[in-house]
Amino acid sequence: MTNLRRRMLEDLQLGGYSNCTTESYISSVAAFARYHKKSPALCGREDVRNLAMYLQTKGLSSASVRLRLSGLKFFYARTLGSPEVMADLPLPKPRRKMPVVLSESEVHALLDALETPRMRMFFTLVYATGLRLREACVLETRDVQKERGVIHVRHGKGGKERFVTLSPRLHALLRAYYRQVRPTPPWLFSGRGGKPLHPDVAIKAMVVARRVARIEKPASTHTLRHSFATHLLEQGTDLRVIQVLLGHSSLQTTTVYTHVSSKLGAGVQSPLDRWPKDKTGGRKKTG
């Protein structure tokens, strides 16, 4: 490991960045060095600009380009102390896509299609609580707090902790699952070697289940989280409550579900319906 790489790792750890973000940022700088075939410490504004233009031609999404450039921005600003290298480089504007949401019947079909009790319980919990994939993978048995009716999320995005609702039905399902599967302590969903469930294992199980359930929507592990939020909104749950349950820092992030809900506009009276029945909006006929 080079001194620059070690120093950047230390800077990311001091900043409290998640393992996922740390890996992405480190990979971005390593790819930058390979692209220019020299140390990133010897690169300047034009080198960064050339890479940004190259990434655009590769057809990558704006989110992917932003992530790679954000890693470089952190490296130059924090590790090298040279923020001016990227000070004038504009980042691609994020394009917000509408999340994929499953109907309740599709959720039932998807969960039923999961082959093992562990995976079925895992994704049932994800849908019942709205947890992110990695948050659910590292849950411990002590995090399920029946007395308080909550699940303690200790490893939320950005290192933030929060509590989500533990419904009586979910608790009953978790008890039955635990008696049947006996996961390796302390994990609620254990993987090989006494480690927590690996996200890739869950992703593969979801791909198979979607095919078995014949769901044509591009559903992913994150789709159940989107479905959780949308279904709550449609049953009248306050948007701020959903924000807290999802662990969103900004309410603006949560408002995306108001655009995908199919029921929010149902029952709303159109201004046209308030017109007298003999009024059509057209020009009155004469003679």
Evaluate whether residue 98 is within a structural domain. no
Quick one: pLDDT at residue 253?
Answer: 84
pLDDT tens string, the chain, 287 residues long: the values are: 789 999 999 999 999 888 888 999 999 999 999 999 999 999 999 999 999 989 888 878 788 888 899 999 999 999 999 999 998 888 877 777 788 999 999 999 999 999 999 999 999 999 999 999 999 999 999 999 999 999 999 988 878 899 999 999 999 999 999 999 999 999 999 999 999 999 999 999 999 999 999 999 999 999 999 999 999 999 989 999 999 999 998 888 888 887 777 666 555 556 666 677 665 555 555 55
- What tens digit of pLDDT does each residue of 48-94 get? 999 998 988 887 878 888 889 999 999 999 999 999 999 888 887 77
Task: Kindly report the CATH number assigned to the domain that includes residue 57.
Answer: 1.10.150.130
Q: What span, in angstroms and rounded, lies between the C-alpha atoms of 251 and 270?
A: 28
Maximum C-alpha span of the chain: 91
Q: What span, in angstroms and rounded, lies between the C-alpha atoms of 92 and 70?
A: 11
43 plus 119 within the same structural domain: no
Task: Kindly report the CATH number assigned to the domain that includes residue 243.
Answer: 1.10.443.10
Q: What span, in angstroms and rounded, lies between the C-alpha atoms of 222 and 20?
A: 16
166 plus 227 within the same structural domain: yes
Q: Give phi and psi for 30, each to the nearest 5.
A: -65, -40
pTM of the model: 0.72
The boundaries of the domain holding residue 31 are: 3-85
Quick one: pLDDT at residue 32?
Answer: 94
Evaluate whether residue 115 is within a structural domain. yes
Q: Give phi and psi for 115, each to the nearest 5.
A: -75, -40
249 plus 109 within the same structural domain: yes
Evaluate whether residue 92 is within a structural domain. no
251 plus 209 within the same structural domain: yes
153 plus 73 within the same structural domain: no
210 plus 79 within the same structural domain: no
Residues catalogued as catalytic: 132, 157, 222, 225, 248, 257
15 plus 156 within the same structural domain: no
23 plus 156 within the same structural domain: no
70 plus 134 within the same structural domain: no
